[in-house]
Structure 1
Amino acid sequence: MSQIKKVVLAYSGGLDTSIILRWLQETYGCEVVTFTADIGQGEELEPARAKALAMGVKEIYIDDLREEFVRDFVYPMFRANAVYEGEYLLGTSIARPLIAKRLVEIAKEVGGDAISHGATGKGNDQVRFELGAYALTPGIKVIAPWREWDLNSRESLMNYAAQHNIPIDFNKAGKKSPYSMDANLLHISYEGGGLEDPYWEPEEDMWRWTVSPEKAPDAPQYIELTYRKGDIVAIDGVEMSPATVLATLNQLGGKHGIGRLDLVENRYVGMKSRGAYETPGGTIMLKAHRAIESITLDREVAHLKDELMPRYASLIYNGYWWSPERLMLQTMIDESQQYVNGVVRAKLYKGNVYIAGRKSDDSIFDANIATFEDDRGAYNQKDAEGFIRLNGLRLRIAAGKGRKLI
């Protein structure tokens, strides 16, 4: 421990990371540099600076990473239509590689010996932070207090805070939320509390970003999303930066009750975990991206993407954003998006996203061929006979040999 002179801590200013800050100072006798990332969690971050200063921190980083987060992490992920276990849009997972990247960058800038995070030994985030750090800085030392200390209950944490004069924050109602929450521009998540019973339905006031579908407006709202190489670049004809696009879609989706999810997922560390998520903008993005791809992607390219997507999503969920296999898949996915350009018209209504239309100068949808009316010779229907007979050849051979199918 005496070899650790300076540690860069991922610091939120909350109770857990404030305790970690003091614990690092006492246990390692080291200088602590704090890093707080603004990735759109919607909280005032300057109080974190004041708390760090009060605890003797001399070097404090509070970085606005919102544009980088959406441009370099969220957008590439949505080009892949990534969904984990059929439902989860990876809102927490995709933020961790960016935080890990910035942690090791700061460690290099300040001459840090180690980085530290507040992820517990039961969760996925410890894996995501540390795999990212090791991929980018192989020799970095990682300190994970939850795997070292004996403060393994909320009561012991509160006692430690009281003994070391660490202020405990409560919300305006005078009580702490019963949930462990994580938020960024893509989503907000809820774990713990009553959610630990998978049969229990969360109360309506748990949700922060979305109205209930029952209370959503009775009239639908139509929006037009303009795509360029698989990314949304404008909403209703107004060009926007990536972060502004996502923030705008969050507001629109939340207004219409879109993006709620209650999920029991399989964590990488081996256990099942129940969480609730709000991803209003991401839900719209996924539906609309698949719509624009439907008229611009070749069939086999689209099907290959769908086959590889679960692997890609698992790589992100499990912390392998900086792995060579994810980078290889990303190169392929990005290449597939060269002609994913155009406009999607979406209808937002009562918790749902309906695709009302899609158009593109790069569309390979040909109405002259697909029509039920006279195609004027664009497609010779007699060609289908040979196509079917050739594709059925192996089936006819097997049936001729008397092989049983039923």
Structure 2
Amino acid sequence: MEKVVVAYSGGLDTTYCVKYLMHEKNMEVHTVLVNTGGFSDEELKATEERAYAIGSKSHANLTILDKFYDKAVKYLIYGNVLKNNTYPLSVSAERIFQAIEVIEYAKSVGAKYIAHGSTGAGNDQIRFDVIFQTLAPSIEIITPIRDLSLTRQQEVEYLEKYGVHYSWEKAQYSINKGIWGTSVGGKETLTSNEALPSEAYPSQLQREDSEKVILNFEKGELIGLNGEKESPVKNIQKLDELASQFAIGRDIHVGDTIIGIKGRVGFEAAAPMVIIKAHHLLEKHTQTKWQQYWGDQLANWYGMLLHEGNYLDPVMRDVEAFMESSQNSVTGDVIVELKPYNFSLVGIESEYDLMKSDFGQYGEVNKGWSADDAKGFIKLYGNANKIYHNVNKTFSE
């Protein structure tokens, strides 16, 4: 029997893939779940038990939080990446690294095939297939849901034929959770004018007061909260737990899918939104104008390429090198006030704060130049405009 590895979540589509490959293709099926922060220990255990119950020859739960942070999340923070100025790439970034881990697992068990449960209408099929084809060109890809254009009812009926009688009642809202945020899809996101109801989001408002929290950054990384140092991953999780009590980080993203159609999805990303905005404020105090400018340009491209599955293009390593270098002075504390449904940035404290210079204070007093220096500079600064309008007389007629 030829071996196939299924990228398995325990849901309807991937469960169908397991049974279909066993019974229709006569394959030895191995399953792997790659956890980027969306599964508790209890959920991982239950998923493993379900995989074996439906006939998986072997199953692995691979938790890659630290690797995902080091390879992706860190750079999303460095770049303050928000797709279309809104979405922190919560789910799209995860798929790349899930695909990479699935390949490694497939190689370890000697599988000739890899299977996933993506449909033909979304972005994930592209992210998975591009990574698979690039890193494992000799391993063939099987996508039963996409190839057979199956409905949920057809999948349920097929599984029942083979004794799989789990409750497959479609949830009103689809939830995909990870360390860098949770996507939320429902009937409202299929429209252009309806908002998701509050109850659709996984975290509900628990606190109606406010709380100040200090984010401690060192070279762009979140190394602590309120002076208590932990790994960046643990700090993200702690901040998310706190900020979620205020129902912070809810929004709806509208964007262009890789296949060319417009898409709309809700998301909840309490920690990511607070961290990105806090980090950005610290950069504005500690970086030069041109560091900020080129950081914005490159980060926009980085986010788009990552979103569209181009993580393996070498230009991504080039951009990451710039981002890493740009963070040398991004060290200090950012004070944030958490409130119901929103937060505000109070200010920063940093030894690298460029507002602390001895040259002057904006709008107040100058110490590094004279009045004559200022007038001479302004005269030269305006030369290009004066020359153009002297020649063209556009506003003088």
TM-score, L = length of structure 2: 0.93
For residue 386 of structure 1, report the CA deviation from its aligned partner: 2.9
1:271 to partner: Cα distance: 1.0
CA distance in 1, matches of 2:9, 2:198: 27
- Shift, 1:367, TM fit: 4.5
Identity %: 27
SS of equivalent residue, structure 2 residue 355: coil
Give secondary structure in 2 for the equivalent of 1:82: coil
Shift of 1:373: 4.8
Are 2:15 and 1:18 equivalent residues in the alignment? yes
Give, in angstroms, the shift of residue 223 of structure 1: 0.8
Cα RMSD (Å)? 2.0
Question: Which TM-score applies when normalising by structure 1?
Answer: 0.91
Which residue is equivalent to 2:279?
A: 289
Is the Cα contact below 8 Å between 2:248 and 2:270 reproduced in 1? yes
Structure 1 counterpart of 2:49: 50
The one-letter amino acid paired with 2:107 is K
Judged with a 3 Å threshold, the aligned counterparts in structure 2 of structure 1 residues 160 and 403 are, in CA distance, closer, same or farther, namely farther
2:219, 2:329 within 8 Å by CA — same for their partners in 1?
Answer: yes
> Per-residue CA shift, 1:296-333, capped at 9, x if unaligned?
21210111111222211111111112211212111111
The answer as to 2:184 corresponding to 1:194 is no
Task: Report if aligned partners of 1:259, 1:283 keep a CA contact under 8 Å in 2.
Answer: yes
**Deviation sequence 1:364-406 (CA, Å, 0-9, x none):** 333533425554x334343232333223222111111134269
| Residue aligned with 2:333, SS | strand
Partner AA of 2:296 in structure 1: D
Shift in Å, 1:253: 1.5
Q: Matched residues in 2 for 1:162 and 1:119: separation?
A: 21
Change (3 A) 1:138 1:336: farther
Please list every run of 5 or more consecutive structure 2 residues that lacks an aligned counterpart in the other structure.
none
The equivalent of 2:146 in structure 1 is 147
Structure-2 change in CA distance of 1:87 and 1:405 (3 Å): farther
What is the 5 A alignment of 1:377-396? 377-396=367-386
Secondary structure at the residue paired with 1:328?
helix
Contact kept in structure 2, 1:194 and 1:200, CA below 8 Å: yes
- Alpha-carbon distance between aligned partners in 1 of 2:338 and 2:371, rounded to the nearest angstrom: 39
Distance 1:145 1:402, change over 3 A: same
Partner residue in 2 for 1:207: 201
Moved more, 6-15 or 21-30: 21-30
Q: Does structure 1 residue 333 correspond to structure 2 residue 323?
A: yes
- Aligned counterparts, 1:95-174, within 5 A: 95-151=94-150, 153-169=151-167
| Divergent runs of 4+, >4 A | 372-375
Q: Which of 213, 217, 221 is residue 208 of structure 2 equivalent to?
A: 217
Distance 1:260 1:381 in 2: 50
**1:8·1:33 contact (CA, 8 Å) conserved in 2?**
yes
Note the 1:361-400 alignment, pairs <5 A.
Answer: 361-371=351-361, 372-375=363-366, 377-400=367-390
Contact preservation (8 Å) 2:18, 2:56: no
- Aligned-partner Cα distance in 2 for 1:385–1:136: 61
Q: Which amino acid aligns with 2:299?
A: M
> 2:303 is matched with which residue?
313
C-alpha spacing 1:204/1:352, structure 2 compared with 1 (3 Å): closer
Aligned match of 1:73: 72
Shift, 1:346, TM fit: 1.0
**1: CA distance, partners of 2:310 / 2:208:** 40
Could you say which residue in structure 1 is the equivalent of 2:5?
8
The worse-fitting range, judged by mean Cα deviation, of 282-291 and 141-150 is 141-150
Equivalent residue number for residue 185 of structure 1: 179
CA contact (8 A) 1:161 1:168 kept: no
Structure 1: runs of 5 or more not aligned: none
Distance 1:34 1:253 in 2: 35
With over 3 angstroms needed to count, the CA separation of the structure-2 counterparts of 1:383 and 1:350, relative to structure 1, is farther
Q: Deviations over 1:177-227 (max 9, x none)?
A: 22222111111112243321222222221111242xxx7423x21111111
| Matched position secondary structure for 1:252 | helix
| AA matched with 1:237 | G
- Amino acid in the other structure paired with 2:390: G
CA contact (8 A) 1:216 1:351 kept: no
Q: 1:40 is matched with which residue?
A: 37
